């Protein structure tokens, strides 16, 4: 559960502005860190609503494994496009990673966590996340 908090969309929403500004560089004024975060803030809840319809229809294991494979491929592609200075590609793939994370990995890990934990344990995990 804690690894879910340290990967995916959480670092993007926490440190996204300075991170994207450093990716885009000072020369590129087309894309800004705050613009990217605004797009993610709109797309992320929409993808979570879509996940509500998808999760009950498929196996959780299949969703979790395919989501993590997709995130791995997206991270590799982000690295390749960033080294080639393709900022639009980086922007699209970061948004895709946020969508894949919120549709496939976050709901399933939350379901697993709530099934095997009691309320006090989940409260402690969420408290650690909020404190970090």
pLDDT digits (tens, 9 = 90+) for 54-87: 888 888 888 888 888 998 899 899 889 988 888 7
Does pLDDT of 117 surpass 80? no
- Domains of the chain: which residue ranges? 32-131
Residue 58: what are its φ and ψ, rounded to 5°?
-130, 165
How much is the pTM?
0.71
Find how far residue 127's CA is from the centre of its chain: 20
In terms of Cα–Cα distance, which of 4, 102, 5, 94 is closest to 44?
A: 102
The C-alpha R_g of the chain, in whole angstroms, comes to: 16
What are the DSSP calls for 12-43, one per residue?
A: HHHHHHHHHHHHHTTT--SS-HHHHHHHHHHH
């Amino acid at each position: 559960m804690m690894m879910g908090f340290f990967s995916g969309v959480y670092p993007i929403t926490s440190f996204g502005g300075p991170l994207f500004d450093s990716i885009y560089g000072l020369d590129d004024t087309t894309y800004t860190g705050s613009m990217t975060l605004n797009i993610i803030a709109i797309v992320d809840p929409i993808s979570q609503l879509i996940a509500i319809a998808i999760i009950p229809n498929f196996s959780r294991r299949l969703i979790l494994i395919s989501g993590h494979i997709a995130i791995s491929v997206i991270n590799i592609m982000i690295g390749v496009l960033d080294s080639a200075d393709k900022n639009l590609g980086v922007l699209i793939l970061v948004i895709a990673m946020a969508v894949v994370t919120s549709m496939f990995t976050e709901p399933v890990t939350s379901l697993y966590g709530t099934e095997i934990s009691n309320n006090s344990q989940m409260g402690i995990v969420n408290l650690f996340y909020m404190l970090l």
